[in-house]
A and B are shown apart, each in its own frame.
Chain A
């Protein structure tokens, strides 16, 4: 089980807003820590891997539960 330092709730928000909020939230955790992002916009499944790849963070896991998603992003730098 991945231990998150912080959880970001983006339920009800549509991309790219959850991505912009992720970018803000990741600044507030330490390198090596994990941010858990809760979302219900399926577009995040496209956008989060690309955002992590471009910004050098690691998407550790994505859990889909019906129309809800949990994404675990590790701050790498």
Chain B
């Protein structure tokens, strides 16, 4: 008996990639799932930092899809300086916010191709649908992505295959093109019907917006960082902080990050070393981190802001503990007008 053809599937665990995998499994293809950790996934971040009660546990959908379909999933960490260059210097620019979707795809597909070669798979596939997303899933950008990622026709998009030129997997007869999809556009109706046909239940609601880089608030914060701190200085620690809490630019060299709830406060504590950390004494309030070089007056104003966001439990003159590494002092907060706070807000 000949060995089954093996393919690497980029698996987010969303409906489209799960169906794409199921389609190929039905054709007898052996699948190795692959998912990337970029540090920009909204769901992943919420899993880490939020304590608000949820109706359902927040899951890693790629792992869940692998478990449901009984296929192995490899997780590869691509967060780091090389991936950050995609964000700071994208060859193909940004979408509506600071989303370098085309460059990001090229980066991921190159890495997937490398992984495919490492494990001896014959081709790779995604759950992409032609015309579903405005930046990276149109015909022309898809061609650019395939070319720049040097895929050599080895990427199959099973859901839209009949609307795209045949790939190596179809030409070599590894998969039957006739059994592949001809889906185009943003409607998910066809995919939902297919999910029923394949017995795929309990899939995450199709949403998009799962990447911080497409989020307008995050985009503002990134651009603020580029302007005041220089995009060449961006690190993954900065990215982690940009995703969380309230942000205020007090002065060009002083920025404040403030937790909005217990989970965020705990998350911020991990980033306190090397930064000023302010917290209200005796009453519950936000954890406030200060980056840069604040003066004593700055710190007293930031203490005032910390008290303001502590809510009704704190009086305006509630003392604030201000720590830097091993030193601690207690500050009397300076009053801060709402209009000033709004002016500082990023």
Contact string, B63-88, partner A, CB cutoff 8 A, digits 1/0?
11111011111111100000000000
Q: Does A54 contact B (CB under 8 A)?
A: yes
Given B37, B60, B74, which contacts A50 in the complex, CB threshold below 8 Å? Answer: B60
Q: Which of A47-77 contact B (CB under 8 A)?
A: 47, 49-51, 53-56
Contact A54 B73 (CB under 8 A): yes
A7-49 near B? 1/0 per residue, CB < 8 Å: 0000010111101100100000000000000000101001101
Chain A minimum-CB-distance residue to B240: A14
With a cutoff of 8 Å between Cβ atoms, the chain A residues found around residue B65 in the complex are: 54
Instruction: List the B side residues contacting A53 at CB < 8 Å.
Output: 66-67, 70
> What is the interface residue range for chain B against chain A?
20 to 34
Contact with A23, one of B48, B74, B270 (Cβ below 8 angstroms): B74
- B48–A15 contact, CB under 8 A? yes
A50 contacts B64, C-beta separation under 8 Å: yes
With most chain A CB atoms within 10 A of its CB, the pick from B44, B73, B74, B77 is B73
Residues of chain A within 8 A (CB-CB) of B74 are 23
CB-based contact B60/A15 at 8 Å: yes
Q: Which residues of A contact B (CB under 8 A)?
A: 12, 14-17, 19-20, 23, 41, 43, 46-47, 49-51, 53-56
Given A19-B75, A43-B58, A55-B66, 6 extra CB contacts under 8 A: A15-B60, A43-B48, A46-B57, A46-B58, A53-B67, A54-B73
Sort A-B residue pairs by CB-CB distance and give the 4 closest, nearest first. Answer: A54-B66, A53-B67, A50-B63, A50-B67
15 A–B contacts from the bound complex (CB under 8 Å): A19-B63, A20-B37, A20-B76, A41-B48, A43-B47, A43-B60, A46-B57, A47-B63, A51-B66, A53-B66, A54-B63, A54-B65, A54-B66, A54-B67, A54-B73
